[in-house]
Structure 1
Amino acid sequence: MNIKFLNNFGEHKAPTLSIPIAYLITSSIELVNNQKILFLSLWSQRNRKEKADYKVYLYDGGYVSQRLEDEDGTYKWSIACLENLVGYYYQKNKILCDRLQDRERIETFFKVNLKVGEEYNIIDKFQKGLMDEKLNIKHKKITDVIDKAMLKVGTLPKNFENWVYNSPFGFSRYIYYKRKGKNISGYCTECKKDFVITETKLTKKNIKHNNNGTCPKCNKKIEYKAIGKTTQLQDRAEFAIMQKYEKGFIVRYFSGSISYMEHYKNPIMHYYETIREIYTPNNNFLIIKKYEYNEFLQTGITRWCDDSRRREVPKAYFYTRNLKSILADTKWKYSCMYDYAKEVKFLFADVFLIEYLKHPTIEYFIKAKLFKFVDDNLSYYNSDWNGINFEAKKIKDIFGMDMKLFQQMQRLNLGNKGLTQIKKVSEMGKTITDLQLKWLDNNLSDFGYFNKMYQLTTANQIIKYVKTQVSSNHSAYNILSAWCDYIVQCRNLEFDLNNTFILYPQNLLEKHEELNLMCEVKKTKKLNDGIKNVFKVVNEKYSFSNKKNLTIRTVANVSELVAEGQKQRHCVGGMGYAGSMAKGDIAIMVIRAIKEPNKSFYTLELNLKTKKVVQCRGFKNCDMTLEVKKFVESWKNKILSKKDKRVRVKISA
């Protein structure tokens, strides 16, 4: 519709009614090029104007609106629907026609019969219908492109479902058992056979809920599940397959589950596709197009959509049976992706494909069987690969270490953590055996605490001692952490660490707690000596009594300071105040009733350098009463204001 024709319509007359609603509608049916146009004017009844607030033009297949501008009284064109113009609050019965003729014109245009108050609904329905039509056309353009791409995706291999059950879900194998008298009856979900065995000392020890074992019928590895204890078991797995796609290939990702909830003898396996990534090589570029199975643009329809990043590409168990043939004529022909996927099982395929194009040297790492190192660095994009030099040619220069250390890394299939450690050990001028490094790599999340202890003793002694201290509640890493803390305590207490009795305590955790108390006592003694020195000087100079009801004095030691904080329920009993007083920076003084000299009343903090009261608080940090305020002012005037030399406190070493 050419809007210039709409400007030729005459203005509607203002409404004749005056009723307490939001808007009144006046209407007319106009003709433009033999096309009927329903012309509506909406007049605000809250803020009456000489002109209509909105003009709405409805015609077959479309609509357009005008909004009155308050600044200059002109109209501005808009494609907003009526709901957006007047707001949701004013819908339904808050918009009515001015006269019967106005409603009849709306009825004629829409060929319906309307009741009073239904005018808004029919207009809204018409506009929403047009919006839906336009949106459907827009959506169809998007979905047609997606559907065309999806039609080119091949079918899954015939053996795919068996592979899913045996590989990604290879761990989902159980024996459900029940004890009755001296017999154990069980059912294996792998071989699907029932069995009964006689209870022995060995079975009593091994056949327990969640323990691992072997099926007596098929000899496959299983996990024991006690019947009755496991009613909600559902295993999940993520897996992927690569297939040919036009000039490139597609990686298809699946999410699946095996549920034993209905009955353990009838597990239900279910899986569905979540993501498709299409890789198309284009000269020196790689075009990656990602699709995800999700809700399409808030329509409530679940289907294949363009990537909206609502689904992240998972680390998935990879189907390898067709991998070599698919990559044969691609840039990944020599990438050794097959060997890598075969070894690690689960991988981020998208990261591998992109990182290989940036670092083709990955091929040699895989050929060298450095699977863990490769996997550590292919868990995310843009890894720094532990600082290795991809530009170098020799192993020494690539990894920054000699061939002997590289061979050790290769033998043990070390990852980033292990690589960092053998470099660190080499920098320390020490060596570490394969068995030692393997044990450390398997039992420690990092080697920081081990390296601290390695400066005091040998790797063999560290491992041997840690093994004697570990338990079900304390891992090797926790033991090493406590041991390092224990060494710090020994140094604080000036113990001789050359004495093996001290270096290797029989019960580390108990000794650690014991030394912790000793360190606290030493620290408290030092604080106590400092506070006593302050007391000697300050109490004599600043203690005071009004000889009526109140007295003030300095706390004598740490115990009294802590007790004051606990009784008054405020923070003065903390070590921060004790430390500041021991240094001679402050004095903590207590105000007492003369009749009750041992009962806590108020606590005062005095800055010894400025001779100013920092704060004075009572129980639970309450403010001073009028009585206490007068007493403190009297003390300040009679004692603090004396012109004497600054208090000097000798600090104990």
Structure 2
Amino acid sequence: MASKSTVSQACRIENTDFYLHAHTALISHQRILIISLYDKNKLRNKEKDPLFRIFMTKEEYITQDFCEEKPVWRTGRMEHLTESTWYKKIEISCCDDRSAAVLNRFFSYLNMEKLSPVDKLIKGQKRIMEKRLEKKHQRENSKIDQKKREVKKLPKNFMDWIDETAMAHSRYIYYQYSRKKYMDGYCTHCHSDVKVSGVKHRKIGVCPNCGKKVLFLAAGKATRILDHGEAVYFQKTKKGFVVRFFSIYKHYGKHYRTPEIRTLELKRIFYEDTKCLKYEWRNFKQTGEMRWCAGWDCYTFYDAACYTANLEKVLTGTPYQYCAIKQFADRYEGAGVNVPYYLKRYGSKPFIEYMVKAGLYHMVEELTQPWYFFGEYNQDGKNLLEVLGVTREQFRFIQQNDMYSFEFRTYKKMLSQKNCEIPEDFRSFCQQYERDISLILELMQYTTLHKVERYCSQQTTEKQPYFAVMRLWRDYLRFAVRLGYNTKNSFVLFPKRLIQAHDHVADVVQKIEEKELREKMKLENERAKSLLEKYRKIYSWTDGGLSVVVPEDLFSIREEGHTLHHCVANYTQDVADGKTIILFIRRNSELTKPFYTIEVTDESIRQCQGFGHCGSTEEVKNFVDAYEQKVLKPLKLLAQAVS
């Protein structure tokens, strides 16, 4: 318990937040420092119990927390328990000179005479925490280092493969510009001198010696080129295999004949049956030490070239033996693979193997990306036809076009429409109408793609571009179908003046809808008559220059919404059903002119709105408050008493 002098200090001194009492005790032949920490505000309220009690040796400390109903043991430092931060400094003082002397004597091993007793305590805890952390890090690192020993050396031809295949996109012909027909050049891929003609800087072409696609660079202009690539290498381990990820940089400077290639291994994933252990090369626990760290997943390798020479041997006997990743990685030279997601998706979507073997590479590319979420595939299908839900003939068309997922979804939609022709150049069609695919498919229900494009092109003007015409025509056809027009008649289907035809049918449909709405409102109005008459006796009220008026009928509510430009016209059905009550606020001098509208539900005002959803003026607000107090509140109390 805190002493009287400590309580007296807390009442007199403002700058201190906590008071500290320290003494030592000999427990099991070990000298223990025992610290009691008191909160100033509690001391001022005559609460003498300590907030925390710290037990400490030179090697360890632990804190007893009395803030909860039952004492709790904590391992946090005193700074953290008192919520001291760099922007909020907590002041802690010793209760007496004896406590200060105990702290100075106990922490004499720190050899920091200039520090205050409390700072020595903070420093001592920090040193113990650092030793704790060091031991913890040593345990973590020993496990990581043990795992690292399972990784073997890279094959001798790995760097050659990096240059030849993984960096296949980094191929150039540097040429010396001259006005001669043939200029001297050098191919960085086949490492040979060549003669080139008719080339331009940064234009794509083909090397006359090796026949590979290259980018032509003028030697005088391209003095510094830095290319980046990614590579993946599979390696066998005792329990499975490890996938190693490399970041590659290839630098072409003035000496472009001898470019510099640097590789940095950043990530390793160990696959052991169903386990997946991830490690990354990074700053270990923000200590400044660069080393392998466990459990990280920050580096992304979405498009890495895959070393396939040993792939079949590595995957044999693993759950991924038949995943077909080798065939997918070899689809073209230096092809990118998102290996972690490929293996992950193969676990849930094994039909990826069938897709790769069928040459549906674009679908697999999308399926193995983290952003893919579409579910157009039947995962329970026994073969690829069942997975895709198509016939053999349809599958051959999909296979020939090597469709993307979007193209496949579009193709399935077209198959589901009657008499919908499939364009020969299907990819160009999908690219052209990608953003408006539902629009073009809807128009193709009425006629052929060729006629749709020809008609829309004829109607296109500066004010009405191509896709705007398509949307206008789509709306016109919807109206025409509703009016019962024969859309198979070319006179109806292809009006000469589309805008005038659209406006005409839109006007007719609007009149029909208006008529239907009025008929509907007549029926609702009959139901609402007795309710409105009842409301008129209960809710009508006048005070000063304003009055609350109950609507004559539902049509007047609709007119109110149109006049004041707010949405009360949509509430007519709820009024007829008795779900809500709509009332008008009028000036006594202009009882027929719309002013404000209020909605009442459960004898409470839900909203009060004027022109264009504007808020209440001071006059209206005072009136509404008075109405709620004098009319609605008594009704509410009466309803509660009855219930």
Instruction: Give the TM bin, normalised by the shorter chain.
Output: 0.5 to 0.7
Pair 1:251–1:448, CA change in 2 (3 A): same
Match of 1:32 among 27, 46, 60: 27
Query: How many angstroms does 1:183 deviate by?
Result: 9.7
Query: What SS is found at the alignment partner of 1:237?
Result: strand
Match of 1:141 among 139, 142, 153: 139
1:88 equivalent to 2:88? Answer no
1:238 equivalent to 2:262? Answer no
Pair 1:53–1:171, CA change in 2 (3 A): closer
Q: Which residue of 2 aligns with 1:98?
A: 96
Pair 1:469–1:334, CA change in 2 (3 A): farther
Pair 1:215–1:370, CA change in 2 (3 A): closer
Q: Which residue of 2 aligns with 1:275?
A: 267
AA matched with 2:280: E
Q: Which residue of 1 aligns with 2:402?
A: 413
Whether the 8 Å contact between 1:107 and 1:114 is mirrored in structure 2 is: no
Q: Within 5 Å, which residues of 2 pair with 1:388-537?
A: 388=378, 390-392=380-382, 397-430=386-419, 435-441=424-430, 443-445=432-434, 447-459=437-449, 483-486=470-473, 488=475, 515=499
Segment of structure 1 superposing worse, 357-366 or 221-230: 221-230
Whether the 8 Å contact between 2:267 and 2:280 is mirrored in structure 1 is: yes
Match of 1:378 among 368, 383, 395: 368
Query: What SS is found at the alignment partner of 2:318?
Result: coil
Q: Which residue of 1 aligns with 2:327?
A: 339
Question: 1-side partners of 2:321 and 2:213: how far apart?
Answer: 36
Query: How many angstroms does 1:157 deviate by?
Result: 2.4
1:110 equivalent to 2:108? Answer yes
Pair 1:152–1:326, CA change in 2 (3 A): same
Whether the 8 Å contact between 1:362 and 1:374 is mirrored in structure 2 is: yes
Query: How many angstroms does 1:354 deviate by?
Result: 4.0
Query: What SS is found at the alignment partner of 1:386?
Result: coil
Pair 1:467–1:112, CA change in 2 (3 A): same
AA matched with 2:32: I
Query: What SS is found at the alignment partner of 1:401?
Result: coil
Query: How many angstroms does 1:125 deviate by?
Result: 1.3
Pair 1:270–1:241, CA change in 2 (3 A): same
AA matched with 2:204: N
Question: 2-side partners of 1:136 and 1:152: how far apart?
Answer: 25
AA matched with 1:35: Q
Match of 2:247 among 249, 255, 280: 255
AA matched with 1:370: L
Match of 2:356 among 356, 360, 366: 366
Query: What SS is found at the alignment partner of 1:405?
Result: helix
Whether the 8 Å contact between 1:25 and 1:102 is mirrored in structure 2 is: no
Q: Within 5 Å, which residues of 2 pair with 1:578-617?
A: 611-614=592-595
Question: 2-side partners of 1:304 and 1:426: how far apart?
Answer: 53
AA matched with 1:34: H
AA matched with 1:81: R
Question: 2-side partners of 1:31 and 1:625: how far apart?
Answer: 76
Q: Within 5 Å, which residues of 2 pair with 1:207-226?
A: 207=200, 211-214=203-206, 220-223=212-215
Q: Which residue of 2 aligns with 1:306?
A: 294
Query: What SS is found at the alignment partner of 1:305?
Result: strand
- % identical equivalent positions: 22
Query: How many angstroms does 1:240 deviate by?
Result: 1.5
Gaps of 5+ in 1: 1-9, 471-477, 506-510, 531-571, 581-604, 627-653
Query: How many angstroms does 1:148 deviate by?
Result: 0.9
Whether the 8 Å contact between 1:173 and 1:188 is mirrored in structure 2 is: no
Question: 1-side partners of 2:304 and 2:39: how far apart?
Answer: 62
AA matched with 1:377: L
- Provide, for residues 233-291 of structure 1, a one-character-per-residue CA deviation record: whole Å limited to 9, x for no partner: 6443333221111131111223334456899787654432333221123xxxx222222
- Provide, for residues 106-127 of structure 1, a one-character-per-residue CA deviation record: whole Å limited to 9, x for no partner: 2355246665761122111111
- Provide, for residues 381-407 of structure 1, a one-character-per-residue CA deviation record: whole Å limited to 9, x for no partner: 9966623364445x6545433222222
Whether the 8 Å contact between 2:84 and 2:90 is mirrored in structure 1 is: no
Query: What SS is found at the alignment partner of 1:31?
Result: strand
Pair 1:264–1:623, CA change in 2 (3 A): farther
Q: TM-score, normalised by structure 1?
A: 0.62
Match of 2:284 among 290, 296, 300: 296
Pair 1:248–1:429, CA change in 2 (3 A): same
Pair 1:291–1:78, CA change in 2 (3 A): closer
Whether the 8 Å contact between 1:294 and 1:302 is mirrored in structure 2 is: yes
- Provide, for residues 497-520 of structure 1, a one-character-per-residue CA deviation record: whole Å limited to 9, x for no partner: 9779x9699xxxxx99xx499959
Question: 1-side partners of 2:458 and 2:290: how far apart?
Answer: 57
Query: How many angstroms does 1:139 deviate by?
Result: 2.4
Whether the 8 Å contact between 2:23 and 2:99 is mirrored in structure 1 is: no
Q: Which residue of 2 aligns with 1:190?
A: 188
AA matched with 1:445: E
Question: 1-side partners of 2:215 and 2:338: how far apart?
Answer: 28
Whether the 8 Å contact between 1:83 and 1:91 is mirrored in structure 2 is: no
Segment of structure 1 superposing worse, 23-32 or 380-389: 380-389
Match of 2:124 among 117, 123, 126: 126
Query: How many angstroms does 1:94 deviate by?
Result: 4.7
- Provide, for residues 295-341 of structure 1, a one-character-per-residue CA deviation record: whole Å limited to 9, x for no partner: 43444444322224444563432222221222233344343322122
Q: Within 5 Å, which residues of 2 pair with 1:630-645?
A: none
Pair 1:225–1:42, CA change in 2 (3 A): same
Question: 2-side partners of 1:44 and 1:309: how far apart?
Answer: 44
AA matched with 1:483: M
Whether the 8 Å contact between 2:266 and 2:280 is mirrored in structure 1 is: yes
Pair 1:481–1:613, CA change in 2 (3 A): closer
Match of 2:168 among 156, 170, 175: 170
AA matched with 1:613: P
Count of matched residue pairs: 520
Whether the 8 Å contact between 2:345 and 2:367 is mirrored in structure 1 is: no
Query: How many angstroms does 1:140 deviate by?
Result: 2.2
AA matched with 2:331: E
Pair 1:292–1:485, CA change in 2 (3 A): farther
Question: 2-side partners of 1:625 and 1:329: how far apart?
Answer: 81
Question: 1-side partners of 2:490 and 2:345: how far apart?
Answer: 52
Gaps of 5+ in 2: 515-561, 570-585, 597-608, 620-643
Query: What SS is found at the alignment partner of 1:343?
Result: coil
- Provide, for residues 214-245 of structure 1, a one-character-per-residue CA deviation record: whole Å limited to 9, x for no partner: 45787643345678987886443333221111
AA matched with 2:97: R
